[in-house]
Chains A and B, each alone.
Chain A
Amino acid sequence: MELAEENLGEHHLDEKEVVDVVVRFAGDSGDGMQLTGTNFTEATALYGNDLSTFPDFPAEIRAPVGATFGVSAFQIYFGAEDVTTAGDALDVLVAMNPAALITNVENLVDGGLLIVDSGAFTAKNLTKAKYQSNPLEDGSLDKFRVLEIDITKQVLAAVEQYNLGHKAGVRSKNMWTLGLVLWLFDRDRTATIESLKAKFASKPEIASANIAALNAGHAYGETAELPAGIHVYKVPKAKVAPGTYRNMTGTTALAWGLIAGSELANIELLFASYPITPASNLLHELVRHREFNINTFQAEDEIAAVCAAIGASFAGSLGVTSSAGPGIALKAEGIALACATELPLVVVNTQRGGPSTGLPTKTEQSDLNMALYGRHGDTPMPVIASSTSIDCFDVAIEAVRLATKYMTPVMLLSDGYLANAAEPWKIPDISKLEPFPVKHYSKVEDFKPSIRNEETLARVWPKPGTAGLEHRIGGIERSYDTGDISYDPANHQKMTDLRQAKIAGIANDIPLQEVCLGNETGKLALVGWGSTYGAIHQAVKRARGEGIDVSHIHVRYLSPLPRNLGELLKGFDSILVPEMNTGQFVRLIRSEYLIDAEALNKVAGQPFKIGEILSAIHKKVAQTGSKS
C-alpha cells in the first residue's frame, strides 16, 4: 500500500489543559539538545505523565556550526493517556538556530508553539541554512505562535557573575531553554538541578552557571510579557499501575536483560563486540557492570568479536556479540560455526538504515532477511525481536534462555529507534522471574560430544577443564552418533534435518501468538514486528475508537513463528503489515501461510507516524468496508 499520512487533528494549545503534547528540541549537534531532552524527560516522568522519546541525531559528531546536516534533535511525546510513540506532528518546536528551524518546522502543527533563539538568526546562519530571507521577518511563520527570544543575550546576563567568558557562558543556552520549557509545562526543576550538580561535581562553577541559566529561563516565563496565547499548559497525570518506575532506553534495557539472563541461567557471560553505531552503547553499558558475572571484550573487528564469543561458549560461558547490519554481515561465518558445533551464542543486531554504511544513526528494520537467511548452508537459528524499549529487557532474557536451552545461536533484533528511545518502566521484581539454570554435562561414562536431549534435541555442553570429557568439535560435518568428522551422505542428511527440527521444535516452547488489541477474528488485522509496535498500537486504538473492525497482532518470535500464527491470520479478511523495509516480513508470512497479506512500507530512516498507519487503515476500510 502506498504510504500516506493524515493529520491526527487533536493538537490544541488553545486550551490551558491538554491531553498530550509533542515537544521537539532542535539545535546544533554541539548545543546540548540531547541533554536538554533527557532532563525534560526526567522531569516529565517525575510529574506523572506517560511518555515516549526519540533522540534524532546526525552521524557527524561535531558538524560545522549552523549546518543543516548537523542538526541534533530530541523529541518527546507525553500525556495523560498511554503513550507508545514519540508522536507525529509537533505541538512545540524549540529551534536554536535557522538550520534547526528549516529542518523541523514542516512538522509543527498550525497554531503550534515555536520557540526560537533570535540571537542565532544572523545573516551568516541564515545563509548556511539556505534561507533567502529571515523567516522571523518575512511572515512565513505567521501560522504559528512564535516566541522569539535572544537566548544568547539572556544566558550571558544570567551567568555573568561566574566570569566564564563568552564561549563557556553561551554553553548554558540549552539549560536556559530547558528552564523555559519546564515552566511552560509546570514541571519541577529539582531533578535537573540535582543531575547538573552530579554531572559537574568536579567543576562547581559550571554547575552553578548552568543552574543559574535554568532558573533564569524559568523566571523569564514567569515574569516576561509573553505574546497572547502562550502560557502555562497543564497536562494531567497519566493513570498508570502502582509501583516504582524509572526511565529506560532500549540499550539499557537490553544490557540489563543480558545481565538478568546470565543470573537466571547462573552462567558467566562474555560480551564481545566492536564499536559501531548505533550498537556501541550496549558495550558501554555492560562494561560498567562487571560486578555481575559478566566480562566484556572490545575485539579488533566484528569477526573477532563473534569468534571470541563462540570461544567463551566453547569454554562453558555464554558468548554474546552485538553489532548493526554491516557488522552482522561480517559475523555470518562465525554464526554458522556456532550453529554447526551447536554452541550457545546471542547475537544482537541493533538495525540501522542500509545498505552498506547507509544511515548509521537512523532506524530501519531491513535486516530481517539477513537474520532469517543470511548465512551459507542450511543454517537455521531462532530470531526474536523487541517491540519497545522496555521490551528489550524481556527479549534479552528470552534470547539467553533459548541459546542455552537449545545450544544454538539466537539472533535478537532491535533497532536504532528502540536503542535510543526511552519510556517509563515499572521496575520488575527479579525474584518473580523464572530461573533456567544451565547444567554443563559431567557424566564421564560413555561420554560423546554428540549426546543430545531427546526432547529439545540440544547437544550436551561439556566444559573444558572437566576430566574425562576431553573431546574435539569443529565446523566439518560431525557424525550424529559419535560427533567425529563424517563425510557420510546419509549422515549429512540426518544432521541437516536435525538442525532444522531442533529450531522448528522451539515453536513448542514459546507462547502462542496473541492479539494485542482487538478481536481474535475480523475484517482487518495489522501485523507488525519490532519497533513499529507503538505506532501500530496507537493507530489501531484510534481506528477502533472510530468503530473500525481492526486488530493489532505483534509478533516477537520471527523464527520459528508461533505455531498458531497461520490459523490466527486466516481468521481475518485482510492483513496489512507495516514495516520499515521493503516488505521482508510480509513476504515471510505470505510464503509461510499462503495468505494475501498486504505491505505498508516506510524506509525513510524515521519511525512510522501514527497518522501514516491510520491513513492506511482508512484506505483499507474504503476498499473493503471494514466498518463493523
Chain B
Amino acid sequence: MNQALPTLTVKDYASDQEVRWCPGCGDYAILKTIQKLMPEFEQPKENQVFISGIGCSSRFPYYMNTFGFHTIHGRAPAIATGVKLANPELDVWVITGDGDGFSIGGNHMLHVLRRNVDLQILLFNNEIYGLTKGQYSPTSQTGTRSPSSPAGSIDLPLSPCEVALGSGGTFIARTIDTEAKHLSAVVKRGHDHRGATFIEILQNCPIYNDGIFEQVKDKKIAADFKVELVHGEPVVFGKEREQGIRLNHDTLKLELVDATHEDVLVHDETNKVLANLLATMHAPDFPVAVGVLYRQEKTSYVDDSRQQLITARAAKGSLQELLSSGHTWKVEE
C-alpha cells in the first residue's frame, strides 16, 4: 500500500494530441494548471478519469494523458456517476461548460450535486456558446448581443454557484482561468473533499465574449473588483485591502464598509446562508467572490451505495438457490 508512486511531472499528464482551442482561449491556462497539479495527488495516473460533455471545454479529456471519455451534450455528470458507482477507486473529474452543465445538462448537475457523488466538477464559465459560434448561454448577461439575440438577450442569467448551493452541493468554489496559483489551490482543496466538488472557473472566450471578466482578471484593477475568500479571515479587498463587507442584520443584506469596521465579516466556509449571500455578489455594487464559498462534510453517495452493497453481499448469493426460492413443486417421472 505504501509503495511510493513514481514521480511524475506535467509532461506525463499531457497526451500526444494537438490542442485545438482558439489562440488565447482561457482553456489553455486551465489545462496547464491541471496538468501541473496532477502529480501532486496521491493517486496513480491510471486511476484518473476525465469525463466531459460537449462544447469547447469538453475537449479537455483528449489532452490529458489519463483515462478520458468525451461523451454527449450535458450528460457528463450522469456518465461520471456510472463510472464512480462501477469503480469507486477511480478519481473522477467532470469537465463542463455553462451551456453543457447548466442548459442542456442542468438536470444532471442538480442531481449529481444533491446526491453528493464523489467527483470533481470543473465548470468553465465563459458566458457564451463557443463551439456553436457564439449564441448567448444561460449565464450570459441580459442584453448580450449574439447571432441568436441580435437585439440583445432577454433571459435572466443564472449564477452557477447559487444553483449549486441550492442543489445541495457540499463543496462550492469559484476561481479564475489565468490565476494559476488560486485555481491550483482551489482545485487541490476540492480534490481533497469527499463528495461532489463544484468549481466555477471564470474563463475568457477571446472570440465570442472577449473581456467579460477583465475587471477581475486585469492585475491593475482586479483587487478592486474581486474578493478572495479565506476561511477564518476577514472578507476584505482593494489594492490596500481597505474595503470590507459586512452583513446588515436589519436588512439581511451585505454592505460595503471600511476594512477596519468592527463588523467586517469573517469568512466561514461552513455557513451556507453566508455562502449564498457571497455567491450573489457582482459588479457594479460588489466585488466578485472567489475561493471556497461553501464546504460541508457529508458521506458521499458512492460511499453509501458501497455500504449497502457490503451489507447485501455479506452472504454471497447463489443463483441456483435464488431460482429455487419461494414456492416450487416437483413433477415426478
Contacts and interface: CB of A to CB of B under 8 A. Distances in A.
Interface of A: 42, 45-46, 48, 191, 195, 240-247, 256, 259-260, 263, 268, 270, 272, 289-292, 295, 297, 299-301, 303-305, 307-317, 319, 333-334, 337, 341, 427-431, 464-476, 484-485
Contact of B83 (A259, A295, A312, A468): A312
Interface string B73-85: 0010111111111
Nearest to A307: B78
Give the dominant DSSP class at A's interface: mixed
B249 interface: no
B49 to A, nearest CB: 5
B81 A308 contact: yes
Contacts of B130: none
A467 B45 CA distance: 7
A45 B329 CA distance: 8
Contacts of B90: 315, 464-465
A289 B317 contact: yes
Interface stretch (B58-66, B183-191, B283-291): B58-66
B70 A304 contact: no
B97 to A, nearest CB: 16
A341 B68 CA distance: 12
A476 B54 CA distance: 10
Interface stretch (B133-141, B226-234, B266-274, B318-326): B318-326
Contacts of B322: 256, 259, 289, 292
A315 B44 contact: no
Given A290-B309, A291-B313, A307-B78, A464 B326 contact: no
Contacts of B156: none
B212 to A, nearest CB: 28
Q: Does more than half of chain B's interface fall in helix, strand or loop, or is it mixed?
A: mixed
6 contacts: A304-B77, A304-B111, A333-B72, A465-B87, A470-B45, A485-B17
A311 B80 CA distance: 6
Contacts of B9: none
A301 B315 CA distance: 32
Contacts of A474: 61-62, 68-71
A297 B61 contact: no
Contacts of B69: 311, 314, 341, 472-474
Interface string B82-96: 111111011000000
B312 interface: yes
Q: Which 7 A-B pairs give the minimum distances between C-beta atoms?
A: A311-B82, A474-B70, A308-B82, A291-B317, A307-B78, A472-B68, A290-B312
Contacts of B309: 290, 295
A156 B109 CA distance: 55
B327 A246 contact: yes
Given A245-B329, A270-B85, A300-B107, A475 B319 contact: no
B253 interface: no
B142 interface: no
Instruction: Determine which residue in A256, A263, A303, A313 has the highest number of CB atoms from chain B within 10 A of its CB, and name it.
Output: A303
Nearest to B63: A472
A473 B75 contact: no
A316 B324 contact: no
Contacts of A48: 329, 331
Given A243-B331, A244-B329, A333-B72, 16 more contacts: A46-B329, A245-B330, A246-B329, A272-B82, A290-B313, A291-B316, A292-B319, A300-B110, A303-B75, A309-B82, A312-B82, A314-B79, A428-B323, A468-B46, A470-B65, A476-B70
Most B CB atoms within 10 A — which of A256, A429, A430?
A430
Contacts of B330: 242-245
B299 interface: no
A470 B66 CA distance: 5
Contacts of A468: 46
B333 interface: yes
